[in-house]
């Protein structure tokens, strides 16, 4: 299939180059050649992706033997929140490794006293630089002079290792004395901006999974593993051989790994999630990270091009050329987005050919490439999602790559923001999406013109039809990109992760045993067999043995399910430092923490449906709410103040004190942005759960009354 795909693509490109260029004018030829160049770039990029990903290899396990080597853990920090560093230090202290052989170092480039205090609390050496030269790479190079371990575990501030991290990686260094580094995947416990803002957490894989779960494994057999900056173990002598981490470009990690491999050192990629970190938490942070990568990739292309670098083998050269060519994709994508408009708005045809002949050559090429991409990428990426990712970042990365072309020697390192807190309302970063909005208007104009000519059956009818279809597809991509940039409100202060752990709830003389459904540092959701009425204050025991956490909690909600079990929402109360550390270990440090990561199979039809419905889905989704929000319930005997636990477009869940029974016709009075308040007729549809002094009821909206949830939510959030 790969050979057939390549043959059909070459057939198409040869035909395009020899039969379809527009020679009517210099401008027409320029536009025509630009589009052909973008297509050739796409063919080369896809071919290099195939060559990287097709040969998957996984190294055998290498258990440690003999005396374990000494390991230094380097954790650089600049302006990240201290709480993120705290979690990482807790996780590092939980690493299963001889205590006398493991040393922690906090490398503080921000010079904050609270960071020094935290490092001392967790028995980590604190290193502060006076001159912050060469960003993170310079910070790590500085630490090499203060640390002495044979091996170095490199972790970003937000990357928390599981307890077995070193047990599963150090053995490879004992087997191979020429092994320079072992890289493990970057696994992210929070959704990326596409998953979160398009409400597709469970339908789409993380945007970086294709690289870390597929491409990196494919590069193993070529000894071309990319050092990704974190979650890697290094041999100190290998770094000393090349003079430390590279500082010549903004992707110092990739450059360092390539330099080691060119000097004859080996690398290895272990595709096992042994740590977890934070991906960029909003679209602006995502663009900051990608612009830095793009500048660094273009810099390396000009300053130390792997194609002519001494010491690299052919497969290594091809692998690194593939990495660097990727950073030019924004210009090809920009051409694809504008090409149909050159015909519809400027009457410049970039492809001079009969539409039916064009389809005869193009469709087999596109279908074969699409099919083989899906086969190789498996569940990690649909080509349609690649189109969205490139469209969302096209203008920012085109500018970043152009700046690097003219000033490749200028190194700019912007730290990716971490630990962000959103406001109560949706947020659209206009500075980043304004070009997309302008392009969207141009695409609408193109669609209108194509429709006008098609309905009027003018000349070049087929050309207008094809250009119109292409423009509609681009419109869908740009609209999805704008929605991906529109940040949804974040209401949780701590990440909540699915964790199925044994739990015991002590609310009386006899504990109630069950299991957790999810867990965070501030609370948990648990399922308890049977129907129970719990007091407001309880004590819970989560986990087993010495690793268990015992902590006081409040019952925030309790609901009886159809399965005969009680679903309980718990909020931890006044947790001590020890209790918080135990929760962090249960959340992030168990060896199996990230083994059962669900990866949906995003086939092309589903991917296209998700992309096309992105804007509509955000406006029609049924939103639940669990917050300290209150409303009024009007009934025959007066007005009852109720606590809203959930609010949807056709029902609400509310609780009030026991002993009060609303009678007669019921009206739920809610605040409303713009209208002041809104009254909705409701009826009690059933018991949703209970506690010692409160019960929660489902209030179903009657008749035609349905809510537009957004203005009610905004009013409730403003009030709270």
587 within 8 A of 91, measured Cβ to Cβ: no
156 catalytically annotated: no
Helix 2-19 vs helix 26-53: crossing angle, to nearest 10: 170
Q: Among residues 109, 192, 248, 282, which one is catalytic?
A: 109
Structure tokens at 429: 């970063």
Spell 217-244 as b/e; 16+ CB within 10 A means b. bbbbebbbbbbbbbbbbbbbebbeeeeb
Q: CB of 180 within 8 A of CB of 235?
A: yes
- Is 563 catalytic? The answer is no
Nearest CA to 280 out of 208, 205, 201, 192 is that of: 192
Q: Residue 298: left (phi > 0), alpha (psi -120 to 50), or beta?
A: alpha
Taking residue 561's Cβ as centre, other Cβ atoms within 10 Å add up to 12
Q: How far apart are CA 189 and CA 426, in angstroms?
A: 22
Tokens encoding 95: 């690493």
Do 158 and 80 touch, CB atoms closer than 8 A? yes
Select which of 156, 248, 253, 387 is catalytic: 253
Taking alpha carbons only, the member of 322, 213, 220, 217 closest to residue 261 is 220
> Is 209 in contact with 191 (CB distance < 8 Å)?
no
243 contacts 252 by C-beta, under 8 angstroms: no
3-state secondary structure 588-599: HHCCCCCCCCCC
> What are the Cα distances from residue 482, in Å, to 153, 471, 604, 693?
39, 16, 21, 47
Strands (E), 472-578: 497-498, 502-506, 512-519, 523-529, 537-542, 549-560, 565-572
Residue 553, token pair as written in the block:
């909690």
Tokens representing residue 607 in the block: 């991917």
CA 519 from chain center: how many Å? 20
Distance in angstroms (rounded) separating the CA atoms of residues 461 and 451: 10
**134: three-class secondary structure by DSSP:** coil
Q: Which residues are catalytic?
A: 109, 253
């Amino acid at each position: 299939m790969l050979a057939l795909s390549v043959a059909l693509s070459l057939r198409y490109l040869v035909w395009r180059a020899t039969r379809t260029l527009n020679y009517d004018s210099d401008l027409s030829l320029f536009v025509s050649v630009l589009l052909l160049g973008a297509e050739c770039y796409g063919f080369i990029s896809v071919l290099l992706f195939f060559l990287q990903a097709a040969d998957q290899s996984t190294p055998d396990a290498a258990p440690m033997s003999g005396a374990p080597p000494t390991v230094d853990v380097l954790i650089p920090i600049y302006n990240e929140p201290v709480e993120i560093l705290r979690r990482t230090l807790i996780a590092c202290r939980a690493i299963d490794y001889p205590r006398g052989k493991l040393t922690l170092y906090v490398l503080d480039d921000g010079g904050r006293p609270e960071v020094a205090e935290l490092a001392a609390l967790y028995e980590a050496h604190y290193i502060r630089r006076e001159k912050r030269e060469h960003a993170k790479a310079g910070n790590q190079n500085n630490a090499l002079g203060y640390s002495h371990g044979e091996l170095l575990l490199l972790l970003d501030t937000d990357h928390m290792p599981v307890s077995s991290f070193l047990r599963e990686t150090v053995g490879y260094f004992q087997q191979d004395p020429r092994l320079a580094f072992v890289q493990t995947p970057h696994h992210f416990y929070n959704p990326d901006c596409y998953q979160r803002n398009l409400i597709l957490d469970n339908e789409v894989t993380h945007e970086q999974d294709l690289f870390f779960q597929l491409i990196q494994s494919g590069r193993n057999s070529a000894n071309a593993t990319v050092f990704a900056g974190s979650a890697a173990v290094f041999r100190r002598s290998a770094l000393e051989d090349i003079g430390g981490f590279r500082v010549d470009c903004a992707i110092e990690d990739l450059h360092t790994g390539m330099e080691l491999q060119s000097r004859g050192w080996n690398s290895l990629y272990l595709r096992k999630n042994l740590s977890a970190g934070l991906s960029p938490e909003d679209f602006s942070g995502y663009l900051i990270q990608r612009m830095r990568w793009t500048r660094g990739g273009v810099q390396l292309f000009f300053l130390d091009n792997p194609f002519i670098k001494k010491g690299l083998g052919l497969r290594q050269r091809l692998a690194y050329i593939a990495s660097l060519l990727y950073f030019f994709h924004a210009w090809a994508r920009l051409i694809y987005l504008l090409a149909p408009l050159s015909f519809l708005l400027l009457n410049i045809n970039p492809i001079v050919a009969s539409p039916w002949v064009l389809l005869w050559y193009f469709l087999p090429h596109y279908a074969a490439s699409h099919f083989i991409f899906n086969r190789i990428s498996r569940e990690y990426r649909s080509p349609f999602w690649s189109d969205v990712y490139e469209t969302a970042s096209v203008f920012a990365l085109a500018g970043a790559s152009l700046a690097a072309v003219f000033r490749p020697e200028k190194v700019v390192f912007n730290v990716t923001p971490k630990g962000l807190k959103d406001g109560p309302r949706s947020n659209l970063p206009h500075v980043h999406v304004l070009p997309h909005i302008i392009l969207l208007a141009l695409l609408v104009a193109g669609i209108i013109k194509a429709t006008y000519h098609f309905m009027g059956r003018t000349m070049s009818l087929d050309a207008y039809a094809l250009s119109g279809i292409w423009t509609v597809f681009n419109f869908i991509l740009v609209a999805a990109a704008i929605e991906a940039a529109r940040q949804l409100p974040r209401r949780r202060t701590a990440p909540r992760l699915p964790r199925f752990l044994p739990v015991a709830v002590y609310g009386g003389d006899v504990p109630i045993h069950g299991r957790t459904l999810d867990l965070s540092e501030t609370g948990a959701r648990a399922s308890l067999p049977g129907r129970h009425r719990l007091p407001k204050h309880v004590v819970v025991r989560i986990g087993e043995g010495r690793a268990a956490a015992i902590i006081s909690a409040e019952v925030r909600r309790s609901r009886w399910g159809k399965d005969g079990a009680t679903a309980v929402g718990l909020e931890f109360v006044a947790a001590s430092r020890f209790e918080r550390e135990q929760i962090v270990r249960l959340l992030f440090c168990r060896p199996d923490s990230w083994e059962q990561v669900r990866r949906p199979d995003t086939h092309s039809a589903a991917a296209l449906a998700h992309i096309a419905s992105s804007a509509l889905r955000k406006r029609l989704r049924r939103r639940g709410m669990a917050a300290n929000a209150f409303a009024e319930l009007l009934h025959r005997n007066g007005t009852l103040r109720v606590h809203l636990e959930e609010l949807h477009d056709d029902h609400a869940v509310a609780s009030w004190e026991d002993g009060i029974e609303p009678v007669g016709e019921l009206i739920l009075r809610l605040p409303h942005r713009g209208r002041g308040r809104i009254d909705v007729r409701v009826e009690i549809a059933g018991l949703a759960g209970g506690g010692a002094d409160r019960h929660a009821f489902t209030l179903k909206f009657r008749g035609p009354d349905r809510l537009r949830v957004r203005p009610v939510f905004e009013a409730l959030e403003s009030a709270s």
